Structure 1
């Protein structure tokens, strides 16, 4: 029942596609109905579907319900008979033919030819029919990429010499979406110690000191257009052939014309470089120097590249590059999100855009990717060194969301003499900028590898290595630990902020080791055991002292990519609430920006609920001692949604 003097808010039935949201009820229905052939049709329902509703409409009408469009709608392929029956169903608000113009990405360049395009097809499309239709519409150099066996879609890459042919491409029944083929750009600008414990030098104290160096971990490196030199001491072995027996490089994939370059060398060295002759002692070794690497140069199909890296053993994936002039949620972002959702144990890291770019771009802006900006080197690490502020455009999500050191770094350099024997040249960047998000991202990837090792070796929950306690963490848990470990960057006002996100990584604030003041409590829930719509789960913790800040972080890897047609990628929505021993409640992401602390419910006007981000936090200084209740609720969930919940502080 509504409270006195209040009214129930009407649902928003506008479709969030195209330049302006519109109500499908206002779209005229042709008298003749749809053609007998199956056409792209938007089916909008009167409310969220329950599981029995989903089962019924799938069985009755052959709906797939896999291409969600906010609000309350799905894109389907239907004939006119099915459309007529659907319009009579009490759950259906409207059935609207998709305007072909809405299939064209708004960021297709307005001028210039030839256009290089990528189109996404309906999953029941026939490859031969697609090729013939594209040829007839004026496409040339058509290349089909069928990622359906990997759980993705059928794509077509091609050139278009006549811009007037764009409507003909959009009118092809099999086409769902057309967007420009992207070009990539590199994001360039004693770091490992700074993000491990905040100290540097011999007495700095690091996670390394506990015995975590990346052993047993594999980091995938995808580079824009370069590769690494296996002759460098950071990557060399004997025999020096990449593969399972190589001490550092499990796989090295590159195009025929790909050359060794400094960007690739520097990034790989930051992540896991280690001197073969003197392991674990080189002053410029990587943040996870005992980890192994899978290295490749990029193409336009990130889903396949990530899948190949997985097949070679990688679970952490670094991308120190972005797409030129593409700032929307495109195919690359969808690939990253789809891979992350379907491979729960993996973490994808993306560099935020550098100061010289126009805006943050894919893959960093994907909802399940950890987007990293660069902090300066110690002792100025509380100031940002490189990275454009968010939020994402146009959906206003928080990206970048975390900071790692991206300045004052020395790593592997290319030897101009190109010797055949191993060499060991290191130093600061010679070609690229000294401060760069490109350097921050592999530092974050290395930190992710250390977090993964912490759980796989059984350090949780005792703070001592216990093989019988081994846990295979989800990517959501690794991201949640990294985000929970962050500290507010004092050189940037407000917390969280559009520039720093949730702040600078400081691993020892969350990774608990025996004898430390701060402890950690984690709940890692996989999709198969995840929340359904309206379901709530309560987890309890006990705070033992008011001296340590209490930080609660909820992260979930959202459902595979939202439909290409609209610009609101968020799909499943979870709600975080924490209640202290006295009954005072806090809601995730309702934070007083000047102080960086959560607002107690009822202490003033609440902030709007966060319906966009899949990272939610509650942060409380001087938390009351006693039992706290932490509740996670499935506010809007399609199927089941897993999550990771990480709490750190003075816990019993």
Structure 2
């Protein structure tokens, strides 16, 4: 256990090469790693590698092998395996030796049989961090902050299968921070530029649940940590001096701060001392994970028609009277130019840091950084206009997707800076402001290129799980040119709705580029070339869907221009501008249910229901139509298959395919619709339970489609498989054929969105089954949407279902050509140990 600064990080270049060989030797024999161990002995390095995540791929490891291993190194793979096992075992043994029967607390890994998880969670209280769905042996794994004495008590409890202190080396986020530490260790000034050393980092230390009782206590810790890092013994390590790094030439010292009880932030840390700082911070008992603090970046006349009607030429939802009235939508971005005609209220001032429900458009404006949108053409003003912008009089041609809705705004921009100063904890210091103002949809056109499941994705999932009617909508990112696995964080969270970008109507492209010819092959069925692609590193389908984002015309802010003349529009493109399109649609869906349009198609206060976030998400995904093609990075058109896939997700939403109106029916609207709304109507399952719905199809003229969504509990940062629960959707047709979700030939074990579409279904009875294959943390609510031509559907019949754990699961990206096998996923995790090995203090002999 590394307690003092600088006591770790002694791995030699040869040992680094050993680690790479070890990875490939383990990958070559994945069967050796397939057996999980429970009981009282310590986990092996390979077993740790089945729980802790990294974003690195097999390709990276093989490239590392070629570039870094000396031909003169003839150490046998078996010797290397022994070395890494002994290294990790020694660190764990030293750690547990210090903690045994101690009142000092530390982070422990706990494994319990699924049937006993509830009782074990009662023992450890609110400090549990779930790692994944139950794995081999039907063991559910989570981490908790315990004293050594409590850990010894747990070891003797019959409900507990395994208890072990977490080595500090495994607290280090591997794909960004670990990769930089490795690069620094291999840095050669004679052959590489100095840019690596010119980049100090700000570190985010994620705190374990239950470690901090108050903000004051977190701030006290931050002060103590700052003093330690600045201490006389290490002043040279952490001071930024004029003769030191150019990036710190102003003499700024490292500082630590806490703005919430979720994390402590320390920086700037010079690259030359990053290893020592990370080691010391990971050794803090209160730390759950150490990562680089991410810098988030900001990532409609025709669009309204494209996402409301199948022909893209009308707005049937608006025509039926739904404009978002009565809805508040949360938005976090660079700022809003409040003089613009889309937001101005001549009778009421802007409600800075307060709530004014009577303001015409913006009911709340939190000045987290400032209260402006920087220079002309601000990002926040544009996306706010797309979301809900409108003028005083009439419906403006470029009005937003929900022009009758209001906005609760959170300003994360500072002047015209290119990055956003977001709160450290999204779940504590971002979403609650909008929620208090009445928002139940939150639009976020920003993110960072972080591949794994980190603390920000955890925050999104946790807030949504604890506030089940709150839907967050995130941009997928604009890194599609870099290929697959490019979904931004926190858009890679499980529960949010992640939005890619498609082409708008051809008329929008022509207005943006007058005089430039566009072939008819470019249409609204085309995915934009920049739109980031999935899947996530654990194999989940992202983006969830795509929406017009190339281009979108919306509000153009002009600071200093008088309100009377500030009504200019301009075009922007990106997943940033596609995201408020979908968030605005979400507000329309909420209004549809809140005003009681379901099930009759006419507003009825007696039928009003408050839709869960899962139901709103399910409706939007259910409404999707397939995209036909995408532009690759070379601007070549490529055909797309049947969704879902990692380019289009489930397709592009078209609301008239799912929202029916009795007074203004369209040919595309469903003949029959059936929905379930989670806990509000008893749509909840425990492990081993199943709900069966009998759907009697009356005609084959309408496809039978079912979409099921649930909001999953949050997983711990860096979990390899962050899905905690697993529900399954399947349909048995009148011929006895079983249809599985997402185009698969067996149950989907990777996603919390599952959809089945049966084109031209035979007339007869269909058994639609939702099964609780794996539910570890209390009953799991779900939402269900079914459309087609069928007789009224009754309540579900409760039955039993076969259970499953992660050992049986196959990571599979459905209809996509991208498939991640179990052995490859295992390799992904073992790279964590490769990174961690470099940060372990050992001197092993073969």
Which residues of 2 match residues 252-291 of structure 1 at below 5 A? 252-254=365-367, 255-256=369-370, 258-260=372-374, 261-276=377-392, 278-280=393-395, 282-291=396-405
**3-state DSSP class of the match of 2:685?**
coil
Structure 2 residue 332 is matched with structure 1 residue 199:
no
**Is the alpha carbon distance of 1:400 and 1:517 closer, same or farther for their aligned partners in structure 2, counting shifts above 3 Å?**
closer
**Is the alpha carbon distance of 1:200 and 1:394 closer, same or farther for their aligned partners in structure 2, counting shifts above 3 Å?**
closer
| Aligned position for 2:588 | 450
Alignment partners' CA distance in 2, 1:286 and 1:84:
59
Q: Deviations over 1:250-286 (max 9, x none)?
A: 012232374344311211111111111x222x11111
| Aligned position for 1:160 | 269
Q: Deviations over 1:401-423 (max 9, x none)?
A: 1011112422111236x223333
Structure 2 residue 74 is matched with structure 1 residue 17:
no
Deviation at 1:580, TM superposition (A): 2.1
Deviation at 1:327, TM superposition (A): 2.4
**Is the alpha carbon distance of 1:10 and 1:49 closer, same or farther for their aligned partners in structure 2, counting shifts above 3 Å?**
farther
Q: Which of 108, 126, 130 is the aligned partner of 1:68?
A: 130
**3-state DSSP class of the match of 1:318?**
strand
Q: Which of 471, 474, 490 is the aligned partner of 1:350?
A: 474
Alignment partners' CA distance in 2, 1:635 and 1:155:
38
- Per the normalisation by structure 1, the TM-score is 0.86
Which residues of 2 match residues 512-527 of structure 1 at below 5 A? 512-514=660-662, 515=665, 516-526=669-679
| Aligned position for 1:45 | 111
Aligned-pair RMSD on alpha carbons?
A: 2.8
Alignment partners' CA distance in 2, 1:360 and 1:366:
10
- The structure whose residues are more often helix, as a share, is 2
Deviation at 1:27, TM superposition (A): 4.1
Deviation at 1:557, TM superposition (A): 0.8
Q: Which of 292, 295, 300 is the aligned partner of 1:183?
A: 295
Alignment partners' CA distance in 1, 2:493 and 2:35:
27
Q: Which of 342, 348, 353 is the aligned partner of 1:234?
A: 342
Deviation at 1:628, TM superposition (A): 2.1
**Is the alpha carbon distance of 1:11 and 1:614 closer, same or farther for their aligned partners in structure 2, counting shifts above 3 Å?**
farther
Q: Which of 236, 239, 249 is the aligned partner of 2:362?
A: 249
Contact 1:143 1:158 in 2 (8 A): no
**Is the alpha carbon distance of 1:392 and 1:258 closer, same or farther for their aligned partners in structure 2, counting shifts above 3 Å?**
farther
**Is the alpha carbon distance of 1:648 and 1:12 closer, same or farther for their aligned partners in structure 2, counting shifts above 3 Å?**
farther
Deviation at 1:546, TM superposition (A): 0.5
**3-state DSSP class of the match of 1:446?**
helix
Deviation at 1:589, TM superposition (A): 2.3
Structure 2 residue 252 is matched with structure 1 residue 114:
no
**Is the alpha carbon distance of 1:86 and 1:295 closer, same or farther for their aligned partners in structure 2, counting shifts above 3 Å?**
closer
| Aligned position for 1:538 | 692
Contact 1:41 1:95 in 2 (8 A): no
Alignment partners' CA distance in 1, 2:652 and 2:558:
33
Contact 2:108 2:146 in 1 (8 A): no
Contact 2:329 2:405 in 1 (8 A): yes
Alignment partners' CA distance in 1, 2:468 and 2:646:
28
**3-state DSSP class of the match of 1:533?**
coil
| Aligned position for 1:625 | 763
| Aligned position for 1:603 | none
**Number of equivalenced pairs:** 605
Deviation at 1:424, TM superposition (A): 4.5
Unaligned runs of 5+ residues in structure 1 are 1-8, 148-152, 592-605
Deviation at 1:217, TM superposition (A): 0.8
| Aligned position for 2:332 | 222
Q: Deviations over 1:12-69 (max 9, x none)?
A: 453411569999999466387342243435444363234xx632x456x656572122
Range that drifts further, 545-554 or 39-48: 39-48
- The structure whose residues are more often strand, as a share, is 1
Q: Which of 224, 238, 246 is the aligned partner of 1:132?
A: 224
Alignment partners' CA distance in 1, 2:611 and 2:780:
16
Deviation at 1:513, TM superposition (A): 1.7
| Aligned position for 1:601 | none
Deviation at 1:130, TM superposition (A): 5.5
**Is the alpha carbon distance of 1:230 and 1:367 closer, same or farther for their aligned partners in structure 2, counting shifts above 3 Å?**
same
Q: Which of 332, 336, 342 is the aligned partner of 2:460?
A: 336
Q: Deviations over 1:469-503 (max 9, x none)?
A: 11100010000000000011122412222100000
| Aligned position for 1:103 | 171
**3-state DSSP class of the match of 1:309?**
helix
Alignment partners' CA distance in 1, 2:85 and 2:564:
65
Q: Deviations over 1:487-530 (max 9, x none)?
A: 11122412222100000101111112224553211001128952
Contact 1:284 1:426 in 2 (8 A): no
**Is the alpha carbon distance of 1:200 and 1:493 closer, same or farther for their aligned partners in structure 2, counting shifts above 3 Å?**
closer
**Is the alpha carbon distance of 1:342 and 1:87 closer, same or farther for their aligned partners in structure 2, counting shifts above 3 Å?**
closer
Which residues of 2 match residues 452-601 of structure 1 at below 5 A? 452-491=590-629, 492-494=639-641, 495-514=643-662, 515=665, 516-526=669-679, 529=682, 530-559=684-713, 561-591=714-744
Deviation at 1:129, TM superposition (A): 4.4
Deviation at 1:88, TM superposition (A): 4.2
Contact 1:337 1:369 in 2 (8 A): yes
Alignment partners' CA distance in 1, 2:346 and 2:458:
40
Contact 1:552 1:648 in 2 (8 A): yes
**Is the alpha carbon distance of 1:246 and 1:258 closer, same or farther for their aligned partners in structure 2, counting shifts above 3 Å?**
closer
| Aligned position for 1:594 | none
**3-state DSSP class of the match of 1:422?**
helix
Q: Which of 434, 437, 442 is the aligned partner of 1:317?
A: 442
Contact 1:548 1:649 in 2 (8 A): yes
**3-state DSSP class of the match of 1:269?**
helix
Deviation at 1:455, TM superposition (A): 0.2
Deviation at 1:81, TM superposition (A): 3.9
Alignment partners' CA distance in 1, 2:433 and 2:125:
32
| Aligned position for 1:596 | none
Deviation at 1:393, TM superposition (A): 4.3
Contact 2:222 2:256 in 1 (8 A): no
**Is the alpha carbon distance of 1:249 and 1:58 closer, same or farther for their aligned partners in structure 2, counting shifts above 3 Å?**
closer
Deviation at 1:170, TM superposition (A): 0.6
Range that drifts further, 211-220 or 115-124: 115-124
Structure 2 residue 190 is matched with structure 1 residue 77:
no
**Is the alpha carbon distance of 1:518 and 1:408 closer, same or farther for their aligned partners in structure 2, counting shifts above 3 Å?**
farther
Q: Deviations over 1:339-360 (max 9, x none)?
A: 1111111111001111477522
Contact 2:454 2:718 in 1 (8 A): no
Contact 1:354 1:388 in 2 (8 A): yes
| Aligned position for 1:360 | 487
Alignment partners' CA distance in 2, 1:134 and 1:611:
44
Deviation at 1:567, TM superposition (A): 3.0
Alignment partners' CA distance in 1, 2:481 and 2:229:
35
- Per the normalisation by structure 2, the TM-score is 0.67
Deviation at 1:626, TM superposition (A): 2.6
Alignment partners' CA distance in 2, 1:279 and 1:351:
30
**Is the alpha carbon distance of 1:483 and 1:176 closer, same or farther for their aligned partners in structure 2, counting shifts above 3 Å?**
same
Contact 1:549 1:623 in 2 (8 A): yes
**Is the alpha carbon distance of 1:520 and 1:437 closer, same or farther for their aligned partners in structure 2, counting shifts above 3 Å?**
same
**3-state DSSP class of the match of 2:736?**
coil
Alignment partners' CA distance in 1, 2:480 and 2:124:
49
